């Protein structure tokens, strides 16, 4: 990878690691100003409670019939029960228990205790009116060491979730990998080792055979890019490496794992649909210069086309391969036939949208819009519209589900016990409206999952960053519908805004 590209990517990814700390110490002028601006523009997370949102004006924006209104979570972020029923260790257990890796030394050992409270949580989903629930399956619950005979107690837990969803009229959507790689596989090189992709396909096959009949939609790998950038470039996510050469070999093996899992589903004869879950960032030139346009184009290669082109076109983008160099570990790791596997036909694309990126001629990134509590997130609903329409334009009319979109707010119960996250309501309203416009303009969007159903372990940020529709009081594990949850329930009832 050219030095320049490496510097840009490191800088951007580092933003996400440092933002929260910077806000706490008051150093991030831009970020703090951004939050203030957001408060003004969007109503703010800390504005006074207003009347129940059923009095919201009806904008007349209706979504297609049977639109899949949903919410999303992931296993390590909510389950807890880290040592129960035969669960093995994952890279996130190791990472979060290493001093200095997460804020306040937080771990997912207990998290939102969903492993024990799942029945109550399923009832909350029903009360919210969800039509779809996206969750992830913990690989180390199914195979403690990442290989071998599946652990029946682990499979049983997810069976209870899937059955409980059906009983409540909610469609299950299961992600096979949301970052909790079995530590035993990491000890053998993790995603740097091509064999991990084969192990993933075996694990996927075991899950398909156990749950397949009852899960209509499968997602393979959650945000391969985040593993690459945060896990291997900046190191602020597990496994905590800073090794750019390894990072893009990891990217290839993650893509290969995706393709092998798609093939495993087809081979199993299980009827479900399957696709990748990609976090896409629209990359805009920061100014009108040709240099900024060129830099934004290459940035787009690293952020989006690396993952999209390989799946939908059967090739990696040439500009990215050239930038990495012909002798890169990634280039050397690609074998004949790999791209055929990676581009095995999928049934849908899961899009996760949080932020745009603005790139200058020198390859730096700048902030143009207010940021959220997460300093890497600029609030720009139009970016969702641009992303959805771009995918349809460049990759054809593959059905799309939004599997993540959301905002962290400094939520806390008021004196009356309610949690007034007006900023989140405004954020979701604006993003739903952008999605509605994309549908109107021809994007085959079938469902939308808010990140997140409930507050949870936000990786290196621990428990301080709250992204949920439902507030979790961690000491008591009490759940409280935030204002956004009441509002969302009304949106679902109305099937729109």
| Sign of the alpha-carbon torsion through 25, 28, 32, 33 | positive
Q: Which is nearer to ligand FCB, 143 or 352 (CB)?
A: 352
In terms of DSSP H, where are the helices of 143-240?
152-167, 183-186, 195-211, 224-226, 232
- Residues near ligand FCB (CB under 6 A) are 74, 77, 222-223, 226, 279, 404, 451, 458-459, 467
Helix, strand, coil share of the chain (percent; to 5): 50, 15, 40
Examine the residue annotation and report whether 404 is marked as an active-site residue of this protein.
yes
Q: Which helix (H) or strand (E) holds 34?
A: helix 29-42
Which candidate in 223, 303, 373, 465 is catalytic? 223
Q: Give Rg (Cα) of the chain.
A: 21
Is 303 annotated in the active site? no
Return the DSSP state at 231: I
- Nearest to ligand FCB of 63, 179 (CB atom): 179
Distance of CA 204 to the CA centre of its chain: 19
Q: How far is the CB of 169 from ligand FCB (least distance, A)?
A: 26
User: How far is 120 from 344, CA to CA, in rounded Å?
Assistant: 39
Residue placing its CB nearer to ligand FCB in the complex, 69 or 92:
92
Nearest residue to 283 via CA among 359, 391, 348? 359
Which CB, 63 or 459, lies closer to ligand FCB? 459
> Which of 40, 42, 44, 22 minimizes the C-alpha distance to 31?
22
Active-site annotation holder among 404, 446, 461, 465: 404
Q: How far is CA 266 from CA 400, 402, 427, in A?
A: 20, 23, 38
CA–CA separation, 108 and 111 (whole Å) = 5
What token pair was written down for 92? Answer: 């996130």
Complex with ligand FCB: residue 279 or 447, whichever CB lies closer: 279
Two tokens, residue 398: 């593959």
DSSP-based three-state secondary structure for 57: coil
By beta-carbon proximity to ligand FCB, the closer residue of 219 and 256 is 219
Minimum Å gap between C-beta 279 and ligand FCB is: 6
The CB-of-32 to ligand FCB minimum distance in angstroms stands at 20
Count of residues in the chain: 497
User: What is the smallest separation between the CB atom of 76 and ligand FCB, expressed in angstroms?
Assistant: 9
Kindly state the smallest distance separating residue 87's Cβ from ligand FCB, in Å: 19
| Shortest Å, Cβ 101 to ligand FCB | 15
Give me the active site residues, please. 223, 404
């Amino acid at each position: 990878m050219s030095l320049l590209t490496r510097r840009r990517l490191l800088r951007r990814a580092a933003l996400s690691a440092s933002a929260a700390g910077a806000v706490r110490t008051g150093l991030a002028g831009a970020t703090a100003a951004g939050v203030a601006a957001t408060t003004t523009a969007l109503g703010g997370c800390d504005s006074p409670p207003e009347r129940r949102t059923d009095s919201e004006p009806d904008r007349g924006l209706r979504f297609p019939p049977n639109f899949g209104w949903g919410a999303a979570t992931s296993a390590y972020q909510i389950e807890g029960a880290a040592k129960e029923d035969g669960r093995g260790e994952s890279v996130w257990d190791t990472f979060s228990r290493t001093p200095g890796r997460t804020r306040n030394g937080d771990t997912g050992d207990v998290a939102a205790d969903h492993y024990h409270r799942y029945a109550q949580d399923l009832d909350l989903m029903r009360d919210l009116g969800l039509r779809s629930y996206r969750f992830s399956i913990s690989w180390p619950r199914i195979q403690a060491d990442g290989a071998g005979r599946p652990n029946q107690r682990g499979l049983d837990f997810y069976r209870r979730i899937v059955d409980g969803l059906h009983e409540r009229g909610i469609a299950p959507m299961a992600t096979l990998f949301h970052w909790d790689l079995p530590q035993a596989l990491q000890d053998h090189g993790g995603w740097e080792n091509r064999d991990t992709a084969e192990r993933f396909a075996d694990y996927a096959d075991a899950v398909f055979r156990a749950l397949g009949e009852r899960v209509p939609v499968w997602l393979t790998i959650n945000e391969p890019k985040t593993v690459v950038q945060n896990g291997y470039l900046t190191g602020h996510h597990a496994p905590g490496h800073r090794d750019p050469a390894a990072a893009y070999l990891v990217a290839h093996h993650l893509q290969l794992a995706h393709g092998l899992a798609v093939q495993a589903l087809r081979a199993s004869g299980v009827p479900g649909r399957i696709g990748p879950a990609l976090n896409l960032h629209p990359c805009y030139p920061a100014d009108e210069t040709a240099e900024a346009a060129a830099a934004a184009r290459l940035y787009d290669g690293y952020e989006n086309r690396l993952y999209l082109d390989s799946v939908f076109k059967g090739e990696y983008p040439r500009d990215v391969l050239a930038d990495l160099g012909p002798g890169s570990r990634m280039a050397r790791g690609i074998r004949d036939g790999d791209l055929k596997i990676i581009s095995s036909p999928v049934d849908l694309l899961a899009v996760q949208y949080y932020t745009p990126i603005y790139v200058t001629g020198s390859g730096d990134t700048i902030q143009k819009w207010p940021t959220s509590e997460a300093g890497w997130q600029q609030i720009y609903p139009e970016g969702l519209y641009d992303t959805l329409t771009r995918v349809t334009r460049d990759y054809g009319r593959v059905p799309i589900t939004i599997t993540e979109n959301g905002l962290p707010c400094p939520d806390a119960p008021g004196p009356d016990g309610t949690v007034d996250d007006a900023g989140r309501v405004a954020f979701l309203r604006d993003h739903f409206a952008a999605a509605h416009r994309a549908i109107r303009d021809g994007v085959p969007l079938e469902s939308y999952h808010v990140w997140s159903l409930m507050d949870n372990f936000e990786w290196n940020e621990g428990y301080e960053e709250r992204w949920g529709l439902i507030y979790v009081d961690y000491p008591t594990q009490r759940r409280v519908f935030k204002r956004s949850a009441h509002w969302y329930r009304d949106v679902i009832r109305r099937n729109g805004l």
